[in-house]
Structure 1
């Protein structure tokens, strides 16, 4: 049977969103890849399935374009939060994910804030294959002049490594990203961020997402970049993150929670065959 979907995006990071309020939907790896294929399918960075929940407004699952199910997706959570708030008429939505319970709140016209919870900062939480200092990783992941400063590692429900570079536009991300993504130090692979500190409250960021490649925006990547920068005292605890698709505002609150604020947009509706 055909199944309706919404095509949504957060700063150009795009999603196929399927609601399963009546009939369950458990796509196979092959089906996810077919849906995500930009030439023969709908095309997206992630597939999102919104399921009923007895203890929250919804339970949400995420798959990357390569067919792998992942625990977290910041921009996707923001889009789902907006959908749930539009449906309920409320200014808050509680969302269950594999990464934990997240709360989305209305922050303006099509603007949504999501409490992404506490970042994982210990090496086992990332996870890494062996013990390392996650503030400043003491191992060479890729030998390139712009990457000589050691990166930082953060988990936002999914693993991130963040390189601080002098000029993010000149870094050959498409060459470096897949090598670092599959480095043996990261048993679950890793999202690879390349961050340029513009000011104490502004970071230019590009992200190579595991299983998706170079995307126009990555919400958890923006959160990880701010936390990694603040831990190194390169920025304060809040900043505007400039991504290819637009801007996100990230705050690492004193209580340890990371708050992400940005837009959500609906592109079109359709039906999966």
Structure 2
């Protein structure tokens, strides 16, 4: 994390209260609104869905955006600002409210409604690195690539034996977006099997498809690079994990899914993630 000891740029706040926060913990959302309204000039927005959420954020003007919501709402806000190329000039404030706030906590945001609202009013801007992929998706926390499921492995094997099935699968992939927001919940009987992937860091191959893998993880380390951990499948003696740091990570091979900020995306056959240094500005306690 790159720290910038500066005060927030505006005392005029646009408070966007996500509908999930209102539905799951309306009392905390109300407390946050009251604390913020007592300490600054606020405009409160209550979007009913993603389109209204995006419209409110886009039309914020000179007001500093304050998100009252959970991790999914946080990722949505950062993604929107990134795609509008407005992250560099924007300081985002967050009051975590909702069913999942672990990511916000990991970023340093207080999880209590009162403490988080006070941090919005009294905190300082701190910059964090992001991972940005080649489809313009962002990752705030850790990227993980788990083993493929038995169902996926069987599908690949069957498709290899039956060309017509592979053609159908390819057609489906062109019709269904690769990025998915479904939770990573394994289906009954879906046993994981090792992945066979090529992992390249800054253009250098760390592991190739001949080495089966248990898992891959990529985490920005706060210095403009990412820590990459690759865990090979052990045969006999336990295989030691491979560690390396770099600015760009490319994973390719058979279709794979990946978990980024608790959201599963894919399947894809190739994806590159690049570290954007100090790309995200958050208001955190001083």
Q: Pick the structure with greater CA Rg.
A: 2
TM-score by length of 2: 0.30
Which has the larger share of helix? Answer: 2
